[in-house]
């Protein structure tokens, strides 16, 4: 009986640790993805701004 109880407790602890670990990994992956998305948008807007500024300078407006 005590052995079954210990096995149950061990399995329960293992499931809790796995759930916490994989939950943490999923949150880190989401954060990484979100950060990459903002970086892409920032670079995109910087390139557009640079392109417009160069076109403005090339056209000779002041």
- Once rounded to an integer, what is the mean pLDDT over residues 25-38? 84
Sequence-ordered alpha helix ranges (H) in 1-62: 2-59
Is a pLDDT exceeding 90 seen at residue 2?
no
pTM given for the model: 0.49
What is the domain range of residue 28?
1-62
pLDDT score of 47: 97
Q: Number of structural domains, the chain?
A: 1
Handedness of CA 28, 30, 33, 38 (dihedral sign): negative
């Amino acid at each position: 009986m005590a052995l079954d109880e210990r096995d149950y407790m061990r399995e329960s602890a293992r499931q809790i640790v796995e759930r916490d670990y994989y939950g943490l990994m999923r949150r880190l992956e989401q954060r990484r993805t979100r950060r990459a998305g903002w970086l892409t948008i920032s670079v995109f807007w910087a390139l557009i701004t640079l392109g417009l500024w160069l076109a403005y300078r090339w056209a000779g407006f002041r």
